[in-house]
Amino acid sequence: MTAVLWLRRDLRRRDHPALLAARDAAGDGDLVVAFVVDPRYWDGGGPVRNAWLAANLRALDDALDGNLTLLHGDPRQVVPGLASRVGASSVHVTRETTPGGARRDAAVAEALGKDDVEWVETGTPYAVGPGLVVNGSGDPYKVFTPFAKAWRRHGWPEPAATPRELPLRHARNDADATAALDAALSASDLPELPTPGEEAALRRWRAFRDDDLGDYAGSRDDPAADATSRMSPYLKLGVVHPRTLLAEVADRSGKDVETFRDELAWREFYADVLHQNPKSAWHDLKPLTGMRYDEPEDAVEAWKRGETGYPVVDAGMRQLLAEGWMHNRLRMITASFLTKDLHVWWPVGARHFLDHLCDGDLASNNHGWQWVAGTGTDASPYFRVFNPVTQGQKFDPSGEYVRRWVPELRHLSGKAAHEPWEHEDGYAHGYPKRIVDHAEERREALDRYERTRR
């Protein structure tokens, strides 16, 4: 028999239930492992996301000894076509729960069924699949803290075994797919991305586990320390499974480990929210009826370039452009500035992040933006407005992070880097003046919120 494993957000060999199911289905026959470059997703993916995906597909192909089959086109035609071409009796996938992914899979499964090819879903990209964590009434959780407690109580299985040998068969690459990957990897002005592949992901994880996890709760909010796991780009593509990480700290306790588990729980919570509320991908989960938003094009462009005149905001936006990644604390600060200081509706910023983040995950990114904007799952609604000066002074007290990313301010020592307007030589090296007055815009944001209440 021949079985096909169609990869999506599961680009790895270890802890891969769908891979094991496909191998078992193949028996003494062949296993074709394939990835489809779908123009609907690829063409709108942005150069950073596409380059990161292409790099990890190349790394996986190496791990499979050159046996990853690359296809191009609409999966509703391409996957059944592959199954027919190789004589497959079954197509195996990791279950997808995003709105677009679930609709796509239903259509592919229907097409395969017409040819009597079995569609098999095994496993999930999450420790606990979306929809499985519910309250006593069987309803989904709407707030993170009770979700996280129930998520821990629910638990998750041990990591799946790693197959030593696979009966791999290559089914010929599509020239358009290989060309798309080549173009993505050779695009100009790409940031310096992480090392791709499963082995690199595990090396990064174990370095964090051994060196930084012990002080995670105390240092994770310090962007200058670079003490976060940096696993989000790998989790985004399933290069490593969250269950693998949880298993490797299962015997540890204490505030640091629990804080790290909470960060994984946030990812699973947002996936669950999207699963339960598909329209929340690009619409307010909790709309503010009558809220007025602005469209200040010049100010938005200054925000995108990191030229707002607020040092910590600009540092975060410049890190995004340089690395294709941004520290989580800075994601909140920069998002608050766009939504509360510039009064811009959050999807504008969410799209910019997805274009430039190599870890740009629809559920986590867009619900994170709504959390900041006050239209999502946040228990503290719209009236939270981050002060970009005090946030910088609190989380970057030495000014090291700002000076790293804003060279125009490297002549200012310590906290002075957060308030160049307070120093005679603050603008000596061309740093831009503030594009808005935060105090005034905070009052305006709160006034707009009050009008929606009335």
The per-residue pLDDT for range 239-255, each reduced to its tens digit, is 999 999 999 999 999 99
Going by pLDDT thresholds of 50, 70 and 90, the confidence category of residue 381 is: low
Q: For residues 409 and 431, what is the distance between their CA atoms, to the nearest angstrom?
A: 7
Task: Answer whether residue 53 is part of any domain.
Answer: no
Half-sphere exposure of 38 (CA within 13 A, CB side): 17
- What six digits make up the tokens of 100? 């677009």
Q: For residues 24 and 21, what is the distance between their CA atoms, to the nearest angstrom?
A: 5
Task: Answer whether residue 423 is part of any domain.
Answer: yes
Task: Answer whether residue 16 is part of any domain.
Answer: no
- What six digits make up the tokens of 410? 């490297």
**Residue 354 and residue 46 in contact, taking contact as beta carbons nearer than 8 Å:** yes
Share of the chain above pLDDT 70, in %: 99
Q: Is residue 72 over pLDDT 80?
A: yes
Q: Is residue 134 over pLDDT 90?
A: yes
State residue 44's pLDDT score.
87
* Segment 409-434 mean pLDDT: 97
Please report, as a single letter, which amino acid is at residue 312: V
Task: Answer whether residue 124 is part of any domain.
Answer: no
Q: For residues 130 and 364, what is the distance between their CA atoms, to the nearest angstrom?
A: 13
Share of the chain above pLDDT 90, in %: 94
State residue 378's pLDDT score.
77
Task: Answer whether residue 184 is part of any domain.
Answer: no
Task: Answer whether residue 436 is part of any domain.
Answer: yes
Domain of residue 369, residue span: 297-453
Q: Is residue 45 over pLDDT 90?
A: no
Q: Looking at residue 403, which CATH number applies to its domain?
A: 1.10.579.10
Task: Answer whether residue 160 is part of any domain.
Answer: no
Phi, psi of 247 (to 5 degrees): -65, -35
- Overall number of domains in the chain: 1
Mapping DSSP onto H, E and C, the string for 154-204 reads HCCCCCCCCCCCCCECCCCCCHHHHHHHHHHHCCCCCCCCCCCCHHHHHHH
Task: Answer whether residue 372 is part of any domain.
Answer: yes
Q: For residues 147 and 145, what is the distance between their CA atoms, to the nearest angstrom?
A: 5
DSSP state of 251: T
State residue 379's pLDDT score.
63
